[in-house]
Amino acid sequence: MTFSQIQAPNSYRRRLLFPLLGFAGLVLVWDLSARFSGWDHQVFPGPLRVMAVLGELMAGGVLLQHAVASLYRVTAGFYLAIFFGIPLGILLGRLQSANLFINPLIQFLRPISPLAWIPLSMLWFGIGDKPAIFLIFLSSFFPIVVSTTIAVNAINPIYFQVAANFNFNRGEILRKIIFPAIVPDIVTALRLSVTIAWLVVVAAEMIAVQSGLGYLILDSRNALRMDYVMGGMIVIGLIGLSLDTIMRILGHLGAASWNRMDT
């Protein structure tokens, strides 16, 4: 047995053990703070009370209903951002005239917080899924466009010269040069964008809709149920962690990891 074969299981155990210890430490600090902070349990509930409340919400189907509503909005807005953002980024990366015309507009709109669009989105789309999906689209669209443009610009020009020598058409250039070259950077951009989208949907649901985890937190706060609030926060964190893990796994598959070292 080689040294690397011995080291691999130890590395796997460390990657599993250390996060569990971190979460255990957080729960311990939370429990001690709830016990000795002097605050009423209605104001600062402990982990056992919050876990019991989460069980109630899951048993009643309320938690699943709100989580599905939030995930639907994130999925719709995120896919729209991918559908429009990646082609636009490729266009800006390949055509200098388009870059000079459109990129200043992108850089002007990109720093505007998606939450600043809430009044306009409610005016344009009313109350419901559409304004939340629009805000998620905005939060994901600009990072994807910018990352795609940078990735296309970073492709070695020699590849395109070779493609011209072999009389590649535009479709072949996209399939054989551009897409394989930009996939690793795009996956990284998608990982960051989906996290931003998950943050935005929770904020949007506190204002523009009447369902979802953000709405659950707001409604619980109005009812002075801080245990429900903290339970919703835990679910948001768990789903966000799951989404990030999925994107990280995608980043280590096939073409998405061809230029990366194993980590």
Give me the domains of the chain, ranges plus CATH numbers: 45-257 (1.10.3720.10)
Residue 262 has pLDDT above 80, yes or no: no
pLDDT of residue 4: 46
CA 105 – CA 149 distance, rounded (Å):
14
The length of the chain in residues reads 263
Residue 261 DSSP class = -
pLDDT of residue 258: 45
The residue-averaged pLDDT of 142-170 equals 87
69, 212 in Cβ contact below 8 A? yes
184, 218 in Cβ contact below 8 A? no
Question: Worst-scoring range by mean pLDDT, 25-34, 117-126, 237-246?
Answer: 25-34
* pLDDT confidence tier of residue 81, bands split at 50, 70 and 90: very high
From 198, 237, 211, 199, select the one nearest 54 (Cα to Cα). 237
Most confident of the ranges 45-59, 76-90, 240-254: 76-90
Residue 3 has pLDDT above 80, yes or no: no
* pLDDT confidence tier of residue 121, bands split at 50, 70 and 90: confident
Residue 205 has pLDDT above 70, yes or no: yes
Compute CA distances 243 → 105, 192, 260, whole Å: 30, 10, 21
Phi, psi of 134 (to 5 degrees): -60, -45
CA 3 – CA 204 distance, rounded (Å):
51
From 108, 92, 103, select the one nearest 182 (Cα to Cα). 92
